[in-house]
Amino acid sequence: MKIIAIGRNYAEHAKELNNPIPTVPVIFMKPDTALLKDNKPFYHPEFSQDIHHEIELVLKVCKEGKHISEKFAANYYDEIGLGVDFTARDIQSRHKEKGLPWELAKAFDGSAPISSFMPKSDFKDLYNIDFHLDINGETKQSGNTNMLLFSFESIIAFVSQYITIKKGDLIFTGTPAGVGKVNVGDHLEGYIGDNKLLDFFVK
Ligand code: MG
Over the stretch 44-75, which tens digit does the pLDDT of each residue have?
Answer: 999 999 999 999 999 999 999 999 999 999 99
Report whether 152 contacts 126 (CB < 8 A): yes
66 CA to middle of ligand 1, Å? Answer: 23
| Distance from residue 65's CA to the centre of ligand 1 (Å) | 24
Are 20 and 11 in contact, with CB atoms under 8 Å apart?
Answer: no
So where are the chain's domains? 3-201
Are 133 and 53 within 8 A, CB to CB?
yes
CATH hierarchy code of domain 3-201: 3.90.850.10
**Residues of the chain scoring pLDDT < 70:** none
The CA 174 to ligand 1 mean position distance, Å, reads 5
Radius of gyration of the chain (CA): 16
Which residues fall inside 5 Å of ion ligand 1, going by CB? 54, 85, 175
Three-class SS of residue 166? coil
Report pLDDT for 109: 98
